[in-house]
Amino acid sequence: MERRSFLKHATSLPVWLSLVRSARTNPFRNPYGIPAGGYAPGRIPNEYSMFLPGEREALRNSPRVSTLSSTAAAVVVGNEQKTLKAGESIGGWELITIIPSLNGTPTAVFEKHVTHQGAIVYVCERGEIASIPKRIGDLSKIRPRPTNASQDVAFRRPACYTPGPDRLGGYILNSVEDPCYENVAALGPEYVGWTLVANEEAGPERSLWLEPDGKSRELGSAPESLWAPDLTGRLFDPHRFLPSEYMYDYVPGYSKRTLLGGYLPAADIGVWNPQFGVGYEVMAILPHGADARPLARVRVMLPRDCKNGLAAEGDFTETSQVEGERYRDHFWNGSPNAFFSELLGIWSHWHHFFDDKMKVEIPDEWLLDAARAGIVLSRCSYRGLQPSYQIGEGAYTKVPERFHGDVPMFPVAHYEFVWAHQLWNLADEVEPYFQYYLDHYILPDGNFSYNRIKQVEAPLNTGVFLENSARAYDYAQDIDALERRLPILRRMIQYVLERRQYTQRTFAPTDPRHGLIWGSPEADLGDPADDNPQSHPYYYQNSTWIWRGLHDHARCLLLAGEAHHRADLKSEGRAVAAIADEMRADIDHSLAMTLEARNPAMKAAGITPFGPFDTKRQPRQLSSYENHRFMMDWWTSDWGDPDLDMGHFRHREIAGEQILGMNTDGDYPRTSNFMEHGTLAGRIRQEDYRPYLLTLYGVLCYAMDSGNRYAPEDALLPGSYPGEGRSTAWSAVVNSELQPTVGLRWLLCYEEHDRNVVHLQKAAPKHWFAPGEKIRVKNCPTRFGPVSWTTEALSGHDIGPRWRVEIWFSGPFDADLIVYIHSPMKELLRSTSMGELGVDRIVLRANSLVGKKHFVLEVT
Q: What is the structure's pLDDT at 11?
A: 31
Please indicate, yes or no, whether residues 226 and 333 belong to a single structural domain of this protein. Answer: yes
Distance set, CA 850 to CA 169, 260, 679, 812, 846 (Å):
43, 44, 35, 7, 7
Residues 218 and 316 in one domain: yes
Number of alpha carbons in the 13 Å side-chain half-sphere of residue 401: 5
The last residue of a domain, from among 87, 114, 134: 134
**Total-model pTM:** 0.94
- Both 114 and 225 in a single domain? no
- Structural domain including 786 reads 755-859
Length of the chain: 860
pLDDT value, residue 29: 36
340 within some domain? yes
Which residues lie below 8 Å from residue 356, measured CB to CB, with a gap of 6+?
A: none
Whether 128 and 213 map to the same domain: the answer is no
Measured between alpha carbons, how far is 714 from 676 in angstroms, rounded to an integer?
11
284-294 per-position pLDDT tens digit: 999 999 999 99
Cα separation, 750 vs 783, in Å, equals 11
CATH of the domain at 808: 2.60.420
Q: Measured between alpha carbons, how far is 296 from 298 in angstroms, rounded to an integer?
A: 7
Of 350, 367, 385, the residue that ends a domain is 350
Same-domain pairing of 256 and 128: no
Distance CA 860, CA 794 (A): 10
Confirm whether 749 is domain-assigned.
no
| 487 within domain boundaries | no
Domain boundary among 350, 377, 403: 350
In this structure, is residue 556 part of a structural domain? no
- The per-residue pLDDT for 669 is 92
Query: In terms of C-beta distances under 8 Å and separation of at least 24 residues, what long-range contacts does 385-388 make, across chains too?
Result: 385/432, 385/433, 385/436, 386/436, 386/440, 387/413, 387/414, 387/417, 387/433, 387/436, 387/437, 387/441, 388/204, 388/413, 388/734
Judge if 327 and 252 occupy the same domain.
yes
Torsions phi, psi for 144 (to 5 deg): -60, 150
Comparing CA positions, the residue from 616, 630, 622 lying closest to residue 536 is 630
Q: Tell whether 241 is covered by a domain.
A: yes
- Euclidean distance between CA atoms 394 and 382, whole angstroms: 13
Q: Are 403 and 457 in contact (CB under 8 A)?
A: no
Which of 128, 132, 130 lies closest to 261 in space, CA to CA? 132
CA 180 to chain centre: 15
H or E element, residue 137: none
The reply to whether 338 and 206 lie within a common domain is: yes
Coil, helix or strand at residue 432: helix
Same domain, 217 and 103: no
pLDDT attached to residue 232: 75
Alpha helices in 703-812 (DSSP H): 734-737, 739-748
- Within-domain flag for 524: no
Tell whether 225 and 303 lie within a shared domain: yes
Q: How many domains does the chain have?
A: 3
Q: Which regions of the chain are under pLDDT 70?
A: 1-36, 306-319, 322-324, 398-408, 452, 796-799
Looking at the fold, whether 83 and 212 belong to one and the same domain comes out as: no
Dihedral of the CA atoms 16, 18, 22, 28 (nearest 10)?
20
Q: Report the distance separating Cα 455 and Cα 776, nearest Å.
A: 45
Q: For residue 224, is it within any domain?
A: yes
Among residues 399, 398, 478, 384, the alpha carbon closest in space to that of 433 is found at 384
- 203, 125: one domain: no
Give the chain's end-to-end CA distance (angstroms, integer).
Answer: 58
In a domain, 790, yes or no: yes
* 317 and 206 part of one domain: yes
- pLDDT for 208: 97
